[in-house]
Amino acid sequence: MLNALQRSTLPMLQTMIEDGTTFNLSPNFQYLADTERTFLAARVGSGTTDLYMTALGYTWRANAACLSSTLDPHADFIYEGGSASGNGVVLAEAHGSFAANASAQSVHLQSKNKYLRQVKPYLAMTSPYGEVIHGYSIAFGSRPGAPGAFLSLSETKIPKMKKGEPPTTPEARTRGDGAPTSIALATHRSNFFLAGADDVINWIDWVRAADGAPPEPTPVEFLRMQYAGRSYLVHASSLWWPDHEWIEEFFDHQHLWPLTPRWSSRLLLGRGPRLGWFAVEETAGTNFLKSLTGIIQDGGRSTPATLPLPNFVPVGFGLAGLTAEGRGDDSGYQYTLFRDDFALLEDPIVGALSA
C-alpha cells in the first residue's frame, strides 16, 4: 500500500500544482471530482503542517489517534522536541482547503475553530508519549486559478509571567537528554516502514507490545551510500529496477562492518527508483539500531526512558537559512533531511559515483 501511495503522490502533485516559487494550482484541478479535491487539499494541509512543525524545531512525531478510542474529533499529530523537549508533547491539527472563496480571514477562522474543537479539549491529557502541554492548529488555503495561498496558525496561549514569578514556560524548564523512547520508536516505525525495512518494523512492534513470541532473529541488511557529504543506510528491499529484477551486478558483497551481531551494512553502487530513495543517516540510524538491539537482547523487559539519538538541522525545506545558497558544497544535490535522521534522496547515483 505504501509503495502504491508513494508512486502515485508525486505524479498527482506534479499534475495539480504549478512549478514556481509561488503556490498555484494548475488548470487540471478543475477536472477533479469534489471528493478528490477535498482529499488533495487535506494532503497538502498535512504536509504544510509538518513543514511548519519542523520549522518550529519539533523532531519526533506520532499519530494523535491514541488520544481517543472513539470517533470524537481530535488533532492529527503529536510532536516532541523543540521547546517541549523534556517536558511533554504538543498536538498539531492540520487543515487544507482549495475553495473559490478562500481568504486570509476564512483560513484564520478555520484554524481557530479547529483548535477549539480538536486541540484545546486534549490539553493536559496524558498520552502514551507524555503529557500534552501545548497545541497548534494550522490551516492552509488557496483559491483555484489565483496564485498564492493563505496560512494561519492558532495555538495555546502562554500566560505572561508576573514580576518576580519563576519561569514556567517550556523553554525555561530543564531539558531531558536524548529522545523519549516511546515516540522515537513510533517515529522510526514510520521511517523504516517507508524505507521498506519490514524486518525492523516487526522488531519495533514486538518491543512496543511487550508480549507474544519475538520475530525470527535473521540478519537485517542495509547498504551504505555516500550522498552530499554524509553516509546513509538504505534497506536492501528497496533496491529494485522497474522490472523487479535485483541489480546484483552493482553490489560489492564484501561484509564491511557489523552494526551489531544482527544488523549489517554493505556498499551501494546502484540506481534506485525515479522517485528517489528513502534512507536514514548512518550515524543516527546505527545508534537507533544498536539501542533497539539492546532492548531485544534483554528480552524487551527493560526499555530505557530515552535513546541517545541526535537532532539534525533540516535540509530541503526552504526554511530560512537552509536554502541551496546556504548549504555550501552540497547545493547541487536534491534531497530532504529531517531532524530525526530520515531522508529522501532524489538521485542516489550522484552520491554513489562520488563515493
Give residue 237's pLDDT band: very low, low, confident or very high (50, 70, 90).
Answer: confident
Pick the range with the lowest mean pLDDT from 37-46, 152-161, 249-258: 249-258
pLDDT at 333: 80
Of 182, 183, 227, 218, the residue nearest 197 (C-alpha)? 218
Q: Helix (H, G, I), strand (E, B), or coil: what is residue 71?
A: coil
Rounded Cα distance between 93 and 278, Å, is 26
Least confident of 58-72, 176-190, 341-355: 341-355
pLDDT of residue 89: 97
What CA–CA distance (Å, rounded) separates 220 from 217? 9
How confident is the model over 292-317, as a mean pLDDT? 89
Contact 107, 142 (CB under 8 A): no
pLDDT score, position 324: 45
For residue 10, name the pLDDT band (cuts at 50, 70, 90).
Answer: confident
Residues 226, 329: Cα–Cα separation, whole Å? 14
Give the cell for residue 149.
495561498
Q: Which has more pLDDT, 297 or 321? A: 297
Write out pLDDT tens, residues 247-278. 444 444 333 333 343 455 444 444 334 567 89
Mean local confidence (pLDDT), 64-75: 85
The pLDDT value given to residue 32: 95
C-alpha cell at position 169: 514556560
| Core vs surface per residue 160-176: b (16+ CB within 10 A) or e | eeeeeeeeeebeebeee
Q: What average pLDDT does the segment 128-149 reach?
A: 96
Say what the pTM is: 0.83
Name the grid cell of 323: 536554502
d(CA 90, CA 38): 26
Assigned C-alpha cell, 118: 480538536
Q: What is the mean pLDDT of the segment spanning 72-79?
A: 93
Q: What are phi and psi of 183, to 5 degrees?
A: -80, -25
Burial class (CB in 10 A: 0-12, 13-18, 19+), 177: exposed
Question: Strand 179-180 vs strand 230-235: parallel, antiparallel, or unpaired?
Answer: unpaired
> In the prediction, which pLDDT does 36 show?
95
Question: Are residues 266 and 223 in contact, defined by beta-carbon separation less than 8 angstroms?
Answer: yes
Query: CA-CA distance, 326 to 328, in Å (whole number)?
Result: 6
Q: Which of 232-241, 250-259, 334-343 has the highest mean pLDDT?
A: 334-343
Mean pLDDT in residue range 216-243: 80
Task: Determine the 3-state secondary structure of 286 from DSSP.
Answer: helix
Model confidence at 219, pLDDT cuts 50, 70, 90, reads confident
Instruction: Give, in degrees to the nearest 5, the angle at Cα 44 between 128 and 331.
Output: 95
| Arithmetic mean of pLDDT over the chain | 82
Is residue 16 within 8 Å of 25, Cβ to Cβ? yes
* CA–CA distance, 319 with 57 (Å, rounded to integer): 11
pLDDT at position 213: 85
Checking if the pLDDT of 126 tops 80, the result is: yes
**DSSP string of 228-279?**
TTEEEEEEGGG-B-TT--B-GGGEEEEEEEESSSSEEEEEE-----TT-EEE
Please give the pLDDT value at position 162.
64
